[in-house]
Copies of this chain bind each other. A is one copy, B any other.
Amino acid sequence: MSIKVAVAQLELSVNSPETNFAKSKSVIVEAARNGAQLVVLPELANSGYGFNSKEQAFENSWQLDGSELREWKSLVAELNIVLVSGLALIEGNKLRNSSVIIDATGLLGVYHKAHLWGDEPDFFERGGTPPLVIQTQLGMIGTMVCYDVEFPEWVRYAMLEGAQLLAIPTNWPDTGIARKPTPLEVVRIQAAASQNKLAIAACDRTGDENGIHWVSSSVITDSNGVIQSIASSSSEEVIYAEIELPTDDVIGPRNAIKADRRTDLYKQFSIT
């Protein structure tokens, strides 16, 4: 089955969560009107990233049963799409850097980022659950957040759980590493896709924020890791691609990833 995927690379700001929210709603509608069946938004799409204080992080975060998520769910049901978005979520007295999967039937699941980058531990509690992989109306969709994907263990888990497409909300800060011919952030997405034969839609943000410059360059790859669409490195843009969802892990006449994995050796040598 082939599905039309939209990745909305947005400019976000910690100083205007209402604008972030309004922008998310209008871009979801725009993407659906353009035929997108799956829409992916950036990491922390509600709150922005470069918080000025812990108070601001709390103020910008949502409750899982709050009105904003209710609005999103209505919109998703009305448009009959699947939405994956990064979100700052309040959980008791903690904050989580999360990703949600919503389809026409409602909220299908919530994932909390397990590998935290930079100053994130000052604001967010680390996740303790594996990548979320769930049956949606489009197929098996998985999600994790940004730095998580640099841990191939995490992507492998999603693949073994049956993910056909990984939707990854990200905020890729520019670390100064050379970006040519392809930014390393994108290279890692391509490799993760090709080594696991799953499609990936990675949605980055854009727009400088409190001294942080973003790689942007959101990308959609097919399950061979080939780039199908890549966004500007500096501005807001919704990119689209028609993506064939893989139905097996066959990568050659005599090769399939799961069968070729040497789990006997990985166990023997305690490789995790």
Chain A residues within 8 Å of B, Cβ to Cβ: 114-119, 121, 126, 128, 130, 147, 150-157, 175, 177-178, 181-182, 184, 187-188, 190-192, 194-195, 224-227, 252-255, 260-263, 265-267, 269, 271-272
Contacts and interface: CB of A to CB of B under 8 A. Distances in A.
A225 B153 contact: no
Contact of A252 (B118, B188, B269): B118
Nearest to A151: B261
A260 B157 contact: no
Contact of A187 (B117, B175, B194): B194
11 contacts: A114-B262, A118-B255, A119-B254, A130-B265, A151-B195, A151-B260, A175-B252, A184-B224, A187-B190, A188-B225, A190-B191
A146 to B, nearest CB: 12
Nearest to A190: B187
A156 B271 contact: yes
A14 B261 CA distance: 29
Nearest 7 CB-CB pairings of A with B = A152-B152, A191-B191, A266-B272, A181-B181, A188-B191, A130-B269, A187-B190
